Structure 1
Amino acid sequence: MAVVFYKHMMMKLTYRLEDEARTLELGAAMAGLLKPGDVIALHGGLGVGKTTFTRGLVRALVPDVEEVPSPTYTLVQAYDAPGFPVWHFDLYRLESPDEMEEIGWDETPEGVAIVEWPEKAGKHLPAWRLDIVFDFEGEHRLVSLEPHGEDWQRRCDEFQF
């Protein structure tokens, strides 16, 4: 008797966003999916909406936050959301993946890590994560959710936006 294993095919979701307001709304909608230990890797060039998306997400998780700045120069911003901390990393200026420990990466398993320029994290970026890829389509943005891991696939399958 032969045993056949089927690998679960991870399916991505793609959204066409008309403007910055819709990018903020997508971030806010994604906030409801998150739990401690999650890593969201934001891919895309300069100016495609990664920080805007994060701003919507953080404001949904931490309603009393006054400002959600880009951590381009500080490398990381931390927020205390009810239930878990949130870290927003911008690795654009990181020179080596070894610097991840210096900026607090080891603390992230107890909360949620949102990572811009994740390719600079090297071995620190976990295999089980949600990749969000930002790109332009004319004057609009295309945003694709690419789950890595069955739990992320399940959450993306249930996501409504």
Structure 2
Amino acid sequence: MRILLSDSEATEALGRALAATRPAQAVVHLQGDLGAGKSTLARAMLRALGVQGAIRSPTYTLVERYPLEQGEAWHLDLYRIGDAGELEFLGLDDAVATLWLVEWPERGSGGMPPADLRIELAVEALGRSAVLIALSEEGSRWLEVLADNRQLPGPSAAVM
């Protein structure tokens, strides 16, 4: 599924739509260059899932944890790690999150649960684009529900 995002509000609308349709357990990989909208999308999802107060960027802490109505969301930014072996210091083995939002997931390859959904964000001439790719059966079902959701930003959403 490819979606054109004209501005940050469209990115936030996508985050809200993803939150409204998400499965009970999900791992989402957020990929894209610096400034592509990964943190904006993650914040919008977390806010739509009921997270109150500050939603901090995990750029320096590497992981931020947020209680949800059912379970816990983990927002990770792995830009600063050298390899997946460094993940053991984050204590990710000791607990189970119901939602993983992972920026720069390629740096933690092999040290995290497999992704259900990969979202590739890119800066385009007229805004940004998001390509959503299912990586599991759960991810495929999520995209099917999302495609039927009338809250997607703009008329440019297309199933790939």
Aligned partner letter, 1:46: L
TM-score (norm 1): 0.85
Superposed CA deviations along residues 27-64 of structure 1, whole A, max 9, x for unmatched, are 1110123344310000001000000001100001124x
- Find the partner of 1:58 among 30, 46, 61: 46
Superposed CA deviations along residues 77-104 of structure 1, whole A, max 9, x for unmatched, are 1100100100000000012201212213
Q: Shift in Å at residue 127 of structure 1?
A: 3.7
Give the distance between the partners of 1:108 and 1:37, measured in 2 at CA.
14
- Cα 1:107/1:86, change in 2 over 3 Å: farther
Look up the match of 1:118.
Answer: 105
Superposed CA deviations along residues 1-47 of structure 1, whole A, max 9, x for unmatched, are xxxxxxxxxxxx01001100111111111012334431000000100
Give the distance between the partners of 1:131 and 1:108, measured in 2 at CA.
22
2:8 equivalent to 1:20: yes
Give the distance between the partners of 2:117 and 2:95, measured in 1 at CA.
15
Moved more, 76-85 or 150-159: 150-159
Give the distance between the partners of 2:4 and 2:94, measured in 1 at CA.
34
Considering only aligned residues, what root-mean-square deviation do their CA atoms show, in Å? 1.6
Give the distance between the partners of 1:127 and 1:90, measured in 2 at CA.
16
> Which SS does the other structure have where 1:143 is aligned?
strand
Runs of 4+ with >6 A deviation:
none
Higher RCO (C-alpha 8 Å, min separation 6):
2
Q: Unaligned regions of 5+ residues in structure 1, if any?
A: 1-12
Give the distance between the partners of 1:128 and 1:40, measured in 2 at CA.
6
Look up the match of 1:129.
Answer: 116
Aligned partner letter, 2:8: E
Q: Shift in Å at residue 119 of structure 1?
A: 0.1
Identity of aligned residues (%): 34
Give the distance between the partners of 2:95 and 2:44, measured in 1 at CA.
20
Counterparts of 1:5-154 in structure 2, within 5 Å, are 13-63=1-51, 65-107=52-94, 109-154=96-141
Give the distance between the partners of 2:94 and 2:43, measured in 1 at CA.
21
Q: Count matched residues.
A: 148
Give the distance between the partners of 1:126 and 1:103, measured in 2 at CA.
14
Q: Unaligned regions of 5+ residues in structure 2, if any?
A: 153-160
